[in-house]
Amino acid sequence: MTGEMADAAPRPDAGGFRGPTWIGTDPLPEPRRLGPLDWVRVAARALALFVVLFGGMAVLLAIRLVEAPLAGLRRPVTAYIPQIAFVAACRIVGLRRTVCGRLIEGVGAAVANHSSWLDIFALGASDRVIFVAKAEVARWPGIGWLARGAGTLFFRRDRAEAASQAAELVERIALGQRPLFFPEGTSSDGKRVLRFKPTLFAALLDPRVKGAAHVQPITVDYEAPSGIDSRVYAWWGDMDFAPHFLQVLALPRQGRVTVTYHPPRRVSDMADRKALAAACEADVRAGLGHEAG
């Protein structure tokens, strides 16, 4: 699960936060037993996703061979390919997508709540962003290769590396790219917003970008199909990826994801990274429409 570095060693609390992974206190959704038609849907959707995502990445890497020597870290052509692939991925899964609000203009970054691997599809389909993920994702079979090719920034939860990682974020922002990170540092059940950790917000206070930079809070809210557990799209705690992936692809009727872009926060208006993190958290929390724990 993608996420931000923790500011300090996590402590158990009443909200169910244990270490870098949010566990929660409610039982996990009961998996649905899959029948023959479910497996047909899984096979068809999985094959289509494989073709779109890995085929798109092959095209991206081929173009990047020419683009990289000419443009360096800039991606004037290949930045569009992941977005096209993510739009197609949402359609293949059958997840309807509603976008509200206006995208940030100019220099800045974006932050969002995090509840599922589907967040990458929903957010990547809506804007050309550079995702920030924990370093472990780079080693995940298949997914790590896709993430690297799409330009994902991989960061460790290590205070010693915080300065160098912040410098990398500043470089990307100064290039006009839009990093998107999940300040909760973990995923939840999608019915709450966890406390935003301020670590990565510090990069936006760098003098090279602070004067012009904005950060846009984004709320990602899933609506399950009628009669299905409302948390069906959420992937958190000790849940394994493969079973959850199969459960989502097997659904005969899919629900909806609403991506709400809140008005950007001007970085120079904030006293420090903690104030910036708290303001963005409040915006995301207000847009969720559920109890925000």
What would the two tokens of residue 218 be? Answer: 């984004």
Distance CA(5)–CA(155), nearest Å, equals 7
Per DSSP bridges, beta strands 265-266 and 214-223 are: antiparallel
Domain of residue 163, residue span: 17-30+94-241+253-288
Residue 52 lies in a domain: no
Distance CA(178)–CA(107), nearest Å, equals 7
> Among 119, 124, 113, 2, which residue's Cα sits nearest to residue 52?
124
Residue 79 lies in a domain: no
Q: How far is CA 51 from CA 47, 106, 193, in A?
A: 6, 34, 34
Residue 84 lies in a domain: no
Residue 44 lies in a domain: no
Residue 68 lies in a domain: no
Q: For the purposes of burial, counting CB atoms within 10 Å of the CB of 119, is it exposed (0-12), middle (13-18) or buried (19 or more)?
A: buried
Decide: 203 and 170 in contact? Cβ < 8 Å. yes
- From first to last of its 293 residues, the chain has per-residue pLDDT tens of 444 433 333 333 334 434 468 888 888 888 999 999 999 999 999 999 999 999 999 999 999 999 999 999 889 999 999 999 999 999 999 999 999 999 988 889 999 999 999 999 999 999 999 999 888 888 887 888 888 888 898 887 777 777 788 888 888 888 888 999 999 988 999 999 999 999 889 889 988 888 889 999 999 999 999 999 999 999 998 889 999 999 999 999 999 999 999 999 999 999 999 999 999 999 999 999 754 44
Q: How many domains does the chain have?
A: 1
Query: What's the whole-model pTM score?
Result: 0.89
Q: What is residue 130's three-state secondary structure?
A: strand
